[in-house]
Amino acid sequence: MTIEQTLAGKTKEALQTLYGVELDKIAFEKTNPDFEGDFTLVVFPFLKVSKKKPEETATEIGTYLKENTSEIASFNVVKGFLNLVISDSYWLNYFKNINGKSLIDATLPSDAPTVMVEYSSPNTNKPLHLGHVRNNLLGYSVSEILKAAGNNVVKVNLVNDRGIHICKSMLAWQKWGNGETPASSGLKGDHLVGKYYVEFDKHFKQEIESLVNQGKTKEEAEKQASLMLEIQEMLRKWESGDKATRELWEMMNGWVYTGFESTYKMLGVDFDKTYYESNTYLLGKDLIEFGLSKGVFKRRADNSVFIDLTEDGLDEKTLLRGDGTSVYMTQDLGTATKRAEEINFSKLIYTVGNEQDYHFKVLFLILNKLGYEWAKGLYHLSYGMVELPNGKMKSREGTVVDADELMQEMIATAAKTTKELGKAEGLSEDEANQLYANIGLGALKYFMLKVDPKKKMLFNPEESIDFNGNTAPFIQFNYVRIKALLRKAKDGLDNFNDIDVFTHNVNLLKKEKELIIKLYQFNGVLQQAANEYNPALIANYTYELAKEYSQYYHDTPILKESEKDLILFRLHLSKTIGIALKSSMGLLGITMPEKM
């Protein structure tokens, strides 16, 4: 039972005894820092039943609670606010129980629900950019959070490895590539393929322009352009399994996968299972018959199949073309069904940008209409776009921030700053490089994850991502200071692990109590982050913990304290906070250095 639950129960009792009413909705909140207390009860809602002034009501309830709850040391009343002070011994006892332990219980219960998280889902025609970075970090972090909250998580990637856009890169390479390979050019595979995607677009635009100059409309030109006809032909060949086309496709996709692999590794993300659209794009056609037989889908005169969603405030959605080929939606219907057959998930989370809100609304609605029980567990983790100062990123216009370049820049900046501060001294080259990566990538990850996923975010390439203030390096810095303290303590104190300290009566400093309360809050934050699929809550929590510790560290002697019991207590407190910081940052995919 949490302390809040205890307080709520006692308050219910108080209202019963004092005013003879039974109320269920009783919530305590953190006391505003400007007032004395740990938890606050707002008594305005009870005035109707108490029929007394706010102050009087609060005092009556406070008196009852103080007399009947051993955890409450004292209370005070300000207007309609009843502030309760919880006794130091309660907090000290709580701390004793978590001392030296991780706040995350890593063992999963045997009946843990399975949650499938899909994220990343790249196209194989171009390298990853900043938008993908947000997607990957979010998907990975949400997976870690769900695991920590007691779920069995399956991370999956659905690679979009086929289609007209892939043919663009292939055709351009064939025409203008001169046999260039990653080995011959020294280019990373995904960047090489992306180069030809851009190349195609350049030539295509030129062709359109000349056709328009010959008097055609833009639409006609786009349909009649020889390049357009060629990639369409290429796609047909691919679909019919033409050997040469398939070989080219496999070779170029192979380059891309090698490239992606290193980007993923650098980002620190991974997957339990990878699906390829080339294997799933034909799925969903069986579903059409099923839907038709259930009367959920309908057939038009031209033989195309659709679902009428106008009653749900949406439009008609085509699911099968007149020629019998499927569309994106059909594919997603089929893939979802396949996954449900393979794995008995309680939830399936799609980490996809909010530009596809409509698509997922329709997808989920259709699956529910088809009567699948598991469809109730589908969730679109819809995140906002990453925007540049001049608007949205557009790959074809070259206004993208490349993921690999960005990461390299972050690491280089971290290296420069670390050297300037003289903090790389005494490290081997490997250690130093590891440190730069931890700091640079930590800063990047924290920067992207501290923002509410639902909201769009701005990235200004002109301003480098900060290393001061509300950032990962600040949190890492506080962790490192703790580690340094513990190293020194080990040299000077032979019985650091002496737990006897807790049998003594330690008088908690105000900040010490606040830190323990902060640790206490972790579980609630984790639960909320898991329920809302929101890593930003973890990021903000971790920053607050680090910030409070930083103040504590600054103001309070730890090793320099003269009383040994206090030294031990403060070291234990520091150590536990260090563990909390590390595991919390781990949920964001951020690694803590030992020294910096």
Partner RNA sequence: GGUUCCAUAGCUCAGCUGGAUAGAGCAACUGCCUUCUAAGCAGUAGGUCUUUGGUUCGAAUCCAAAUGGGAUCACCA
Segment 161 to 180, residues that bind RNA, using CB under 7 A: 163-164
Task: State which of residues 115, 117, 269, 439 lies at the interface with RNA (CB under 7 A).
Answer: 439
Nearest to 438 by CA among 544, 552, 258, 592: 592
Task: State which of residues 536, 566, 585, 587 lies at the interface with RNA (CB under 7 A).
Answer: 536
Task: State which of residues 79, 205, 218, 564 lies at the interface with RNA (CB under 7 A).
Answer: 79
Q: List phi, psi (to 5°) of 72.
A: -85, 125
410 binds RNA (CB under 7 A): no
Task: State which of residues 423, 445, 575, 582 lies at the interface with RNA (CB under 7 A).
Answer: 423
**DSSP state letters, 274-324:** EEEHHHHTTTTHHHHHHHHHHTSSEE-TTS-EEEE-GGGT--EEEEE-TTS
Of 209 and 594, CB closest to RNA: 594
433 binds RNA (CB under 7 A): no
Contact 351, 153 (CB under 8 A): no
| Angle, CA of 55, 45 and 26, to the nearest 5° | 105
Shortest Å distance, C-beta 155 to RNA: 21
241 binds RNA (CB under 7 A): no
490 binds RNA (CB under 7 A): no
Contact 307, 313 (CB under 8 A): no
434 binds RNA (CB under 7 A): no
596 binds RNA (CB under 7 A): yes
483 binds RNA (CB under 7 A): yes
Shortest Å distance, C-beta 487 to RNA: 8
Shortest Å distance, C-beta 541 to RNA: 9
Q: Which residues contact 296 (CB under 8 A, 6 or more apart)?
A: 307, 366, 369, 370
Of 83 and 152, CB closest to RNA: 83
Of 206 and 464, CB closest to RNA: 464
CA distances from 12 to 19, 42, 55, 278, 441 (A): 10, 14, 18, 60, 49
Binding to RNA, residues 351-370 (CB under 7 A): 354-359
452 binds RNA (CB under 7 A): yes
Contact 325, 281 (CB under 8 A): no
Stretch that binds RNA, among 14-22, 87-95, 369-377, 413-421 (CB under 7 A): 413-421
321 binds RNA (CB under 7 A): yes
Task: State which of residues 458, 464, 495, 564 lies at the interface with RNA (CB under 7 A).
Answer: 458
553 binds RNA (CB under 7 A): yes
**For RNA, how many residues bind (rule: CB under 7 A)?**
93
Distance CA 428, CA 158 (A): 40
Shortest Å distance, C-beta 90 to RNA: 19
Nearest to 128 by CA among 246, 242, 305, 267: 267
523 binds RNA (CB under 7 A): no
Task: State which of residues 474, 502, 522, 569 lies at the interface with RNA (CB under 7 A).
Answer: 474
Binding to RNA, residues 261-320 (CB under 7 A): 277, 300, 302, 304, 313, 315-316, 318
Of 135 and 152, CB closest to RNA: 135
Distance CA 456, CA 458 (A): 7
CA distances from 523 to 273, 517, 519, 542, 582 (A): 29, 11, 8, 12, 15
Task: State which of residues 9, 254, 322, 371 lies at the interface with RNA (CB under 7 A).
Answer: 322
User: What amino acid occupies position 61?
Assistant: I
Distance CA 340, CA 348 (A): 9
Q: Structure tokens of 583?
A: 């595991």
Contact 445, 588 (CB under 8 A): yes
What is the 3-state secondary structure of 557-586? CCCCCCCHHHHHHHHHHHHHHHHHHHHHHH
Distance CA 326, CA 501 (A): 70
Of 328 and 379, CB closest to RNA: 328
Of 376 and 455, CB closest to RNA: 455
Binding to RNA, residues 21-40 (CB under 7 A): 27, 29-32, 34-35, 37, 40
Nearest to 348 by CA among 358, 370, 363: 363
Task: State which of residues 52, 175, 237, 547 lies at the interface with RNA (CB under 7 A).
Answer: 547
Shortest Å distance, C-beta 181 to RNA: 26
Shortest Å distance, C-beta 525 to RNA: 8
Binding to RNA, residues 199-238 (CB under 7 A): none
Q: Structure tokens of 384?
A: 């906002």
Distance CA 281, CA 8 (A): 54
Task: State which of residues 381, 414, 444, 515 lies at the interface with RNA (CB under 7 A).
Answer: 414
87 binds RNA (CB under 7 A): no
Shortest Å distance, C-beta 186 to RNA: 30
Of 161 and 177, CB closest to RNA: 161
Binding to RNA, residues 113-172 (CB under 7 A): 123, 160, 163-164
In this structure, which long-range contacts are made by residues 310-317, counting pairs with CB atoms below 8 Å and at least 24 apart in sequence?
312/365, 314/358, 314/361, 314/362, 314/365, 317/362, 317/366
What is the three-class DSSP state of 166?
Answer: helix
Stretch that binds RNA, among 62-70, 170-178, 225-233, 410-418 (CB under 7 A): 410-418
Distance CA 252, CA 165 (A): 13
